[in-house]
């Protein structure tokens, strides 16, 4: 899907999520774009590549993927969360990030770039260049223009 169409579809939910949680819409959209190839590789409406751990009680989908393990890129098939739609996925990602103490520092950040670096530092992805890739997507599409004021206490 063209990036402009992808952004248009995701923008309302990303901004609603930012108002409710403080997670910048720019980083939500950039992460969804990076993880899904601008909506081309979406299984189970999971835009962010969130895996289904033992605690997950919702739907799942088996997805072939690559991970970086001990410095080596390897192919694996893993269980990922599945959703009925993208809006549900965006809000579940927010709950996932809020519920995991390792992402607490992210919520002190106020910019998409700060969020990208904090998420990567917290271990969101195994790719050592993850933050730089997110930031490149945000800057390439001037995504900071999509950020709105949060309506939650800092």
Give the active site residues: 67, 92
The helix or strand, by DSSP H or E, that contains position 89, with its residue range, turns out to be helix 86-99
Query: Using alpha carbons only, what angle is made at residue 24 by residues 20 and 30, rounded to the nearest 5 degrees?
Result: 130
End-to-end Cα, the chain, rounded Å: 35
* Cβ neighbours of 91 (radius 10 Å): 16
How many angstroms separate the CA atoms of 14 and 81, rounded?
19
Residue 29 and residue 140 in contact, taking contact as beta carbons nearer than 8 Å: no
């Amino acid at each position: 899907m063209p990036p402009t169409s992808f952004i248009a579809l995701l923008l309302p939910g990303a901004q609603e999520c930012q108002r409710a949680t403080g997670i910048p819409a720019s980083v939500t959209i950039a992460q969804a774009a990076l993880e899904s190839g601008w909506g081309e590789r979406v299984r189970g409406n999971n835009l962010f590549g969130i895996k289904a751990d033992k605690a997950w009680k919702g739907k799942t989908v088996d997805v072939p993927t690559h991970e970086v393990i001990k410095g080596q890129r390897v192919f694996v098939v893993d269980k990922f969360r599945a959703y009925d739609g993208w809006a549900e996925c965006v809000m579940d990602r927010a709950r996932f990030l809020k519920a995991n103490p390792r992402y607490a520092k992210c919520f002190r950040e106020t910019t998409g770039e700060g969020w990208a670096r904090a998420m990567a530092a917290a271990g969101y992805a195994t790719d050592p260049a993850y933050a730089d890739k997110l930031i490149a997507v945000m800057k390439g599409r001037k995504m900071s223009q999509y950020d709105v004021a949060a309506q939650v206490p800092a």
